[in-house]
Amino acid sequence: MFLDLISRDLRSRFIGSYTGWLWLLINPLLLLGVYAFVFGVIFKARVPENMEVSFVVWLALGLWPWLAFSEGIVSASESMPRYKNLISKVAVPREILALSTATASFVLQMVGFVVVLVLISLLGVTIHWSGLIHAASILTTLFILSCGIGLFAAALRVYIPDIEQLLPTMLMFGFFLTPIIYAPEMLPEAFGVWLDLNPMAGLLTDLRGALLVGDAFPSLATGVFAAISALIFLLGMMFFRRMSPFFEDFL
């Protein structure tokens, strides 16, 4: 049932669209072009000194994982109202509904990410495939964290409808607090502590290191955060299951 829900979600996103699955790549590429122009051309953003790649490549390797992470959370938060008719008529584990929508969103962005990696490689940028396993472990950590936060958001969305408006704003703050469109060195020294407290900064730094430098092993910080992500997922599952018996009364 879980796989069927994912398949159904993937197909429903492109029904009635003339270009179909091309939007999987078109939308992020347009967004990448806007950010590259605004921050790379107008604001003269630069990559870290040890990265001998263009700003567009450096940006792309951070943008797609963030889109996968954030869209997974948002999709999960919208799952209960979306499936309210199913919830009221069929005895189904509600967490499957939230996790399937989060997984579908994450998979879509990962397909686009793989295509971008291939395009970058064809354009002459060296992608160190030796760091692929390391990169996959980081993306798995992001997926687990996205699902965990998504479970919290899905349960709270039933009781607090304003979560629908608040969540995108919070994720936007997270986006700009993470070195995706700028190098960490561009921040004033006084703000450096915020990067140390932001686990997403370390994960994306390790991801870029794996693909652009070939780092084969995760840093200690990434390993610790992988364990924290697993804990957040378990807590999110417990919270969701505790709240789910009362969903029908509020949907």
Label residue 91 by pLDDT band (50, 70, 90). Answer: confident
Distance CA 75, CA 6 (A): 12
Q: What are the domain boundaries of the chain?
A: 2-249
Label residue 118 by pLDDT band (50, 70, 90). Answer: confident
Lowest-pLDDT range, 19-23, 38-42, 105-109? 19-23
Label residue 170 by pLDDT band (50, 70, 90). Answer: very high
What predicted TM-score, i.e. pTM, was given to this entire model? 0.89
Label residue 15 by pLDDT band (50, 70, 90). Answer: low
54 pLDDT more than 80: yes
Label residue 18 by pLDDT band (50, 70, 90). Answer: low
111 pLDDT more than 80: yes
Distance CA 83, CA 81 (A): 6
Query: Bigger pLDDT: 66 or 40?
Result: 66
Percent of the residues in the chain that have a pLDDT greater than 90, as a whole number:
30
* pLDDT at position 16: 56
Angle at 220 between CA 152 and CA 225, to 5 degrees: 0
On average, the pLDDT of the chain sits at 85
How far from the centroid of its chain's Cα atoms is residue 130's Cα? 23
Q: What is the mean pLDDT of residues 54-66?
A: 88
* pLDDT at position 143: 95
* pLDDT at position 202: 83
Each residue's pLDDT tens digit, 129-139: 888 888 999 99
* pLDDT at position 84: 85
Count of C-beta atoms within a 10 Å radius of residue 170: 13
Let me know if 239 is exposed, middle or buried by CB neighbors in 10 A (0-12, 13-18, 19+). Answer: middle
Between the ranges 74-83, 122-131, 182-191, where is the mean pLDDT highest? 74-83
